[in-house]
A and B are shown apart, each in its own frame.
Chain A
């Protein structure tokens, strides 16, 4: 068991740290949360900066250990988050890299890396959330196109996306997992209506997407027709992999800030509050170590982080919500003031046990696929 960097990893870390120190002070200020065009431009700009410095593909090419160092150092330095690039960089891109044809890789991957195109994820539907394979959006062949009709919901960043990783039903007669196809849909195609949905935090983070006979070229299909469920599992394995790792570092930083704030406003004198902060710190320390463990195991096995990601996600989503609940105790009455720091974060943390697979679904995965308990209904 070794927690120290290898010489090459240490060199990567040192170079990255030095570069971040130089480049971060030159970045434009963060746009306000409701300024979507501004946020898109900001996130794409950061990706372009990474591209120019040779770090754009760190999530795809590098060893898991290097990816971890990248997430740790960028977060520690306060670099921008992937933001609008989340889907393209962390799951659509890797899926296309793994399952796409050479032509598809050449068409879609470079613009993601260069910070030119934003992707969104059109998986969930009003009647297909946890039970994703119940999706009903239909697609039928017409010449060289699929014609798609139906609707998607909770689509994050749909308003500013250029492409959508879209799941459609191509064979309504087949068993529900068998008739699904994975398509790359251009978001400017005729027949697409995006209707922003307000989140409980008040922002328009996600949207409903209505599809009325939208034409998507057959050449945009990733994987075989009706083999989309398998491709989807590839996508989800990336989504649940190391995607949340940088955030653990961020949570520990917030915890330190909360301690200072509590000392400033006198609540530090309450031993019950101190103890909760200490207990949370233990949890975040452990989550960071668990990540290092998962990454080391994945590296040894030569694959992406496996279902161990569900273990991490379960505990992390809970810890993140506890963190902001403690923040509310530190803030006292100010916890009800949306202009105070951490209050909006508290609201958005409520999505963590829902998005990317609810905690109940993750527990099923852990119980059935790791512990081997019988499948239920």
Chain B
């Protein structure tokens, strides 16, 4: 058992982090917020060229030939950067939908939940989006449509990659909270010296680290129950983490200019995708009865 990142995996993660820092920094994030509903096609192609979508396609088919653990590391970075767009849907369409692999085509999907992300910007839609109606999305970076009959089967890989994105967002929430707690002073000292704040930050880290172990393990085993567990913990880490991060920021956290609300809103959107919440818990409960735990 060597349950830690290999050198290659570390290099891949650092590479993706570097690319996103260059191409989707804070300025890009904020200008995307100012142009809601529009996807940066140039960036999409660059992601494609970097192998974001073709990562798991065999090399013989023009892909990168890597596996789920590597995909999880990339999606974690995407979640950390709050990268917008139907990333999971396009990644899953690579090799099946022409142009998806290299980022020429933007693919949206009806995933079995009741909502579709980025429907209007998509070139191709997987699943039956008949009768879809737009709603005013809470997340300025994720346009949403409601679909009446979302009966698609749930793809465990989509559930796992969503968990990876949530993990990245949870990690970002922890970093932002700690940064602020170190810098902001009240009563003549950094607020991070106060236990009430310190303990919020500690719990942020605990939830994120527990989720990380679950997400990485699920990427290795690819077992549906492991994936369900990973998703539940990552949803919790992202949603509660973003809320606590907002609390640590005080009034600043309630301000549009600060990024904290973007973390929370995106975490909420991802939390509604198929395979989390009740569905995940029921899957694990059924597993308990089957005796798999014993």
Give chain A's interface residues, CB within 8 Å of chain B.
Answer: 1-6, 9, 65, 68, 252-253, 255-260, 263, 268, 271, 274-279, 281-283, 285-287, 289-290, 292-293, 295-297, 299-300, 308, 311, 314-315, 360, 362-364, 366-368, 370-376
CB atoms of B3 and A278 under 8 A apart: no
CB atoms of B4 and A296 under 8 A apart: yes
Q: Give, as a whole number of angstroms, the nearest-CB distance from A256 to chain B.
A: 4
Tell which of A259, A268, A292 touches B1, judged by Cβ atoms closer than 8 Å: A292
CA distance A364 to B226 in the complex (A): 31
Q: Give, as a whole number of angstroms, the nearest-CB distance from B167 to chain A.
A: 11
- Known interface pairs A255-B293, A373-B198. Does A278 touch B220 (Cβ–Cβ under 8 Å)? no
- Known interface pairs A278-B288, A281-B229, A281-B285. Does A1 touch B2 (Cβ–Cβ under 8 Å)? yes
CB atoms of A275 and B201 under 8 A apart: no
A293 — nearest CB in chain B belongs to which residue? B213
B207 — nearest CB in chain A belongs to which residue? A315
CA distance A282 to B213 in the complex (A): 12
Tell which of B5, B198, B287 touches A367, judged by Cβ atoms closer than 8 Å: B198
Q: Give, as a whole number of angstroms, the nearest-CB distance from A35 to chain B.
A: 29
**Chain B binding surface, main DSSP class:** helix
Collect the chain B residues with CB atoms within 8 Å of residue A360's CB. Answer: 195, 199
Per-residue 0/1 for B186-226: is the Cβ within 8 Å of any A Cβ (1 yes, 0 no)? 00011011110111011101110111111011011100011
Q: Is B115 an interface residue (CB 8 A)?
A: no
Among B117-125, B259-267, B275-283, the stretch in contact with A:
B275-283
Ordered by A's residue number, 28 sampled pairs between the chains whose C-beta atoms are within 8 Å are A1-B3, A1-B5, A1-B220, A2-B3, A4-B1, A259-B288, A275-B281, A277-B285, A278-B282, A281-B229, A281-B285, A282-B281, A282-B284, A289-B214, A292-B3, A295-B1, A311-B209, A311-B210, A363-B202, A364-B199, A366-B202, A367-B199, A368-B198, A373-B190, A373-B192, A374-B189, A376-B195, A376-B198
CB atoms of B282 and A374 under 8 A apart: no
Which interface residue of B9, B178, B284 has the most chain A CB atoms within 10 A? B284
Give chain B's interface residues, CB within 8 Å of chain A.
Answer: 1-6, 9, 69, 174, 178, 181-182, 189-190, 192-195, 197-199, 201-203, 205-207, 209-214, 216-217, 219-221, 225-226, 228-230, 232-233, 278, 280-285, 287-289, 291, 293-294
CB atoms of A1 and B202 under 8 A apart: no
CA distance A257 to B226 in the complex (A): 20
CA distance A2 to B1 in the complex (A): 6
CA distance A297 to B2 in the complex (A): 8
B197 — nearest CB in chain A belongs to which residue? A373
Collect the chain A residues with CB atoms within 8 Å of residue B198's CB. Answer: 363-364, 367-368, 373, 376
CA distance A315 to B285 in the complex (A): 20
Collect the chain A residues with CB atoms within 8 Å of residue B283's CB. Answer: 278
CB atoms of B281 and A274 under 8 A apart: yes
CA distance A6 to B65 in the complex (A): 25
CA distance A2 to B217 in the complex (A): 9
CB atoms of B233 and A286 under 8 A apart: yes
Tell which of B9, B205, B210, B281 touches A366, judged by Cβ atoms closer than 8 Å: B205
CB atoms of B289 and A371 under 8 A apart: no
Collect the chain A residues with CB atoms within 8 Å of residue B233's CB. Answer: 282-283, 286
Q: Give, as a whole number of angstroms, the nearest-CB distance from B59 to chain A.
A: 21
